[in-house]
């Protein structure tokens, strides 16, 4: 699973990217968001994301400066730039910073998915090359050194796959780590640690993010009442739905509907 960081100073675009895109379908998860380059740089150091999607012009530190400083510090990630036509000259400058691709505003969901798919393929290729190098090192090493080499692959963990499929299928029900751990015949604490290692977040946080993402999709259709969406997304407590939705998006669901806050073109 790819770890994605979003750096964008406009809250409505930042929330739109985080919650209107089905990241799970792209084998990805948003591990964090930042409102400027300085905060983005700190989060790159904290999370070591595979992909960083960043605006260019932002307060305190712009996106290109953030990418440059992160690369100079040795962080290896795929940078994707958000830009408007007026900033296109900056996008050309970004090529010199080994920016992987750029996406024009207003955001096009199909274009975003296309770019993320290419980035995903690049990450997998990089991981395969690293694995092959480690295998070569392992084959040429003496026995003592061989025992010290830890070989990591990019293959998905079956237990984590089970958890993600459960969330995707039963987000409107009551999936929990204890039941899954029992089915997988492991302890809940072990599964919790494993889940965080592979996704960058806790099971409950991932579940809530996915529920909010689905709620955004339902609300954007203007076909359901807010209380109906709450129930469809696994919230039996209407007040709790409001709290969770606002904590992740910065806006309550009623205001979301009034403002038509979906900023991604279908």
Domains, the chain, with CATH or none? 2-119 (3.40.50.2300), 157-266 (1.10.10.60)
Does residue 79 surpass a pLDDT of 80? yes
- By C-alpha distance, which of 11, 24, 4, 80 is closest to 210? 24
CA–CA dist 224, 45 (Å, integer):
41
Does residue 134 surpass a pLDDT of 60? no
CA–CA dist 184, 29 (Å, integer):
23
Does residue 248 surpass a pLDDT of 90? no
| pLDDT tier at 217, thresholds 50, 70, 90 | confident
Asked whether the beta carbons of 37 and 65 are under 8 A apart, the reply is yes
Question: What is the distance, to the nearest Å, from the Cα of residue 200 to the centroid of all Cα atoms in its chain?
Answer: 9
Cis omega before residue 106 (within 30°)? Answer: yes
Strand 51-55 and strand 78-83: the pairing is parallel
User: Residue 227's pLDDT is what?
Assistant: 92
Tell me the two tokens of residue 8.
């964008």
Question: If you ran DSSP here, which 8-state letter would residue 108 be given?
Answer: B
Can you tell me the mean pLDDT for 141-167?
59
Does residue 145 surpass a pLDDT of 70? no
Can you tell me the mean pLDDT for 165-190?
92
| pLDDT tier at 143, thresholds 50, 70, 90 | very low
User: Residue 93's pLDDT is what?
Assistant: 62
Can you tell me the mean pLDDT for 86-95?
60
Does residue 193 surpass a pLDDT of 60? yes
- The kind and range of the H/E element at 31 are strand 28-34
SS3 65: helix
Does residue 83 surpass a pLDDT of 60? yes
* Burial of 133 from C-beta contacts in 10 A (0-12 / 13-18 / 19+): exposed
Does residue 222 surpass a pLDDT of 60? yes
Can you tell me the mean pLDDT for 79-103?
69
pLDDT tens by residue, 6-48:
999 998 888 888 888 888 888 888 999 999 999 999 999 999 9
Q: Which range has highest mean pLDDT (83-92, 142-151, 206-215, 254-263)?
A: 206-215
The residue ranking higher by pLDDT, 129 or 121, is 121
Question: If you ran DSSP here, which 8-state letter would residue 185 be given?
Answer: T
Asked whether the beta carbons of 151 and 135 are under 8 A apart, the reply is yes
User: Residue 41's pLDDT is what?
Assistant: 96
CA–CA dist 264, 107 (Å, integer):
5
- Lowest pLDDT segment from 11-20, 44-53, 224-233: 11-20
Question: If you ran DSSP here, which 8-state letter would residue 250 be given?
Answer: S
């Amino acid at each position: 699973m790819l770890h994605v960081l979003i750096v964008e100073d406009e809250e409505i675009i930042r929330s739109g990217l985080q919650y209107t895109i089905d990241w799970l379908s792209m084998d990805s998860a948003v591990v964090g968001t930042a409102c400027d380059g300085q905060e983005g740089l700190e989060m790159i150091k904290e999370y070591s994301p595979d992909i960083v999607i960043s605006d260019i012009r932002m307060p305190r530190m712009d996106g290109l400066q953030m990418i440059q400083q992160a690369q100079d510090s040795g962080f290896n990630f795929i940078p994707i730039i958000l830009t408007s036509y007026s900033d296109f000259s900056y996008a050309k400058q970004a090529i010199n910073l080994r920016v992987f691709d750029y996406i024009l505003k207003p955001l096009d969901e199909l274009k975003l998915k296309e770019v993320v798919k290419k980035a995903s393929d690049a990450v997998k290729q990089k991981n395969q090359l690293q694995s092959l190098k480690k295998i070569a090192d392992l084959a040429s090493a003496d026995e003592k050194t061989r025992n010290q080499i830890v070989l990591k692959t990019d293959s998905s963990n079956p237990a984590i796959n089970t958890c993600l499929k459960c969330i995707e299928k039963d987000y409107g029900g009551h999936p929990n780590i204890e039941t899954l751990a029992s089915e997988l015949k492991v302890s809940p604490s072990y599964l919790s640690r494993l889940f965080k290692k592979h996704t960058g977040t806790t099971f409950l946080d991932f579940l809530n993010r996915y529920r909010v993402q689905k709620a955004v999709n339902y609300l954007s259709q203007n076909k359901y009442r807010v209380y109906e969406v709450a129930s469809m997304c696994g919230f039996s407590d209407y007040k709790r739905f409001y709290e969770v939705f606002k904590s992740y998006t910065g806006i309550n669901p009623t205001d979301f509907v009034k403002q038509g806050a979906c900023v991604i073109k279908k």
